[in-house]
Structure 1
Amino acid sequence: MTEAVFRETTANPLTQSVPLAHLSLELGHLYMEDFEAGPERLREHFAEVRIWVDAAQASAARRIGGRRPRISTCFLIDDYFTRFSTPAELIPLILEEAEKAGLVIDYLARESGCAVADGIELAESVMHRLVESPPPGSYGGSRPPVSQTGWLANGQRTTPTRSALAEIVTWQPPQETAARNHSVFMDAELWSETDRGRLWSCPFLAAVWQLARLGLLRHLGEPVLVPHPWSDPEYPRDWDRLPPLLKLSDSRVSFSAYRTCTLMPNRFLAVEDAVRLILDQVDVDSGALDQVAKRSAGEGVAVPEAVARRATYVFYEEPANLRAVQRDLA
């Protein structure tokens, strides 16, 4: 006799799919010092970015055999680490300077939305999906897990060892797990504890941002950090009254995409190296991964298996006047 097995319908939630563009092109990821430098800084940024937009579009078209690619653009504002100005003052300025450079921003996001969006603790959720990659021959007992320390490495940390008599300490170098000939070891801080609670790091929030742009974030099977249409010419004076992700244009191209490309100043290079380290160790929702794989195969679009390889970058040298502003703020 076959025994019936009953399960709650919520035990295995269905993974909802999201529409996907070929490329999510980020036109800016700026912080307080960029806006402190005035409209000229934004003008210089978009003028530099405009040069690389054409190259990114051409690359996307080449990858899909010369067809016209579906490309959406986005822009990220830091309202998490610093509440600078107001949406009513800042967003029109950003859109105006982008337009002067011949650019259209389809989607605009608040960085705080990568921590919490629509009541969902996105950063906390991604943190619980981290799976550390132990170095060969290690047993994981020599260091606490990332959930306790808030630090994530790409290999074995430096570990001094003592002789049997505990008199001589021998230094052991760090070792990258997937090193080729020589190690490039990284150890990234994902959060810190403050009087007001956990403060997520810039690399960790940027990793959440990349997962959202790649259409790989889910909560109980449902997409998260979804765009909210915005057609009102007026913006609120309080950041908390603004949805975490806005759809600003009438473009029909989706926010999420098979691949991402981010155009940004080269001072973010170390941050984005840490982002890739994090992406390599996130146990991404398998249902979302399967959906992307099937849809990309159906379109004849090659998508790397490794999530971190789906993210590409263009780094440019920032102007000298901004470096002076950064020194003054420091």
Structure 2
Amino acid sequence: MMACSVPVKAQNPATQTITLSDGGRYTGQVLHGKPNGKGKAVYKNGDVYEGEFLKGKRHGQGTYTFTDGEKYTGEWFQDHQHGMGDYYFMNGNRYSGLWYKDYQSGQGTMFYYNGDKYEGEWAEDKRAGKGRYTFKNGAFYDGYWLDDRKNGKGVFDWGDGSSYTGDWVNNLKEGKGTYVYGDGEEYSGQWKNDLPDGRGIYKFKDGDIYEGYYVEGERHGEGIMRYKNGDVYTGRFLRGERSGQGTMAWHNGDVYVGLWEQGHENGVGKLTKKNNDVFDGVFVNGKLDGEVVIHYADGTRFRGTFRNGLREGKAIEEDAKGVRFEGSYHEDERDGSFVERDKTGAITAQGRYEDGKRIEM
């Protein structure tokens, strides 16, 4: 506030009381009709400043108390809060640090009414630059800020064993980062909108490891799942489940190559057993179901239908010597009429099977 040049009353040679330009009153040292030196100004709106003046402006050390109860005490420069100072907010917050032309700017600490605390850099009243925000419960964020939000590299520690170290954009995990969960699991990779999104590696507490793509926090796209027991799946995922084209190599030596849905073999696929038996056909929920061709390791070839993992219906089998069986199966046992032929096609036997037992005709 600017002061007028008309003295009202002289207290002593060093102190005067004058009327300010807003109608308020000033008592203190005066030079050329303006506050200059130490004094107290009571402004028309009820605000009070007590401290140093220079050529009519608040300049030097001083305390400004607002009518709403807020208060600033510290350094001033040409009527601006400028330099080191403390500001007491009406809601109970307190800022202690550097100011630039009435803004919290530079290094400073905010003590929040709820027990939280921020120590670090500020720009125009907002957290900006490097700083640490500590919550009352012990959790903290230590990293970079922009426009009062976490932006850039930073570490967030929740205090319960879980933490995130990596990139932030507008308070959200975005970019590259590593999240360590309280139960010991860990994800390291790409993030978007606070969720794993893109390529990453997830280490499960049971020892399983997934390496591949994520979409909105779920395994989605190409990936490899290495299970603790030695099983390895390589292929497509959909919303966290094995789905699409994929290969499972079990630790016992069996290998399946084909389609998956909802975590199970579903669709056309080929299962190669450790003993080199090969099952080629349609799978439903992990079991053969439909037209199937089997090439056994001993040279025998089977063509027929399966239901729920068991041979069911008409089938043709031919061994390595060309001996051919033509008949049917029921619940994985030969059942019903049959014909056997040699490699020339001549009938060598015929009859029936009942519950897997052969009855000659």
- The structure with higher relative contact order (CA 8 Å, sep 6+) is 1
Q: TM-score, normalised by structure 2?
A: 0.15
Structure whose residues are more often strand by fraction = 2
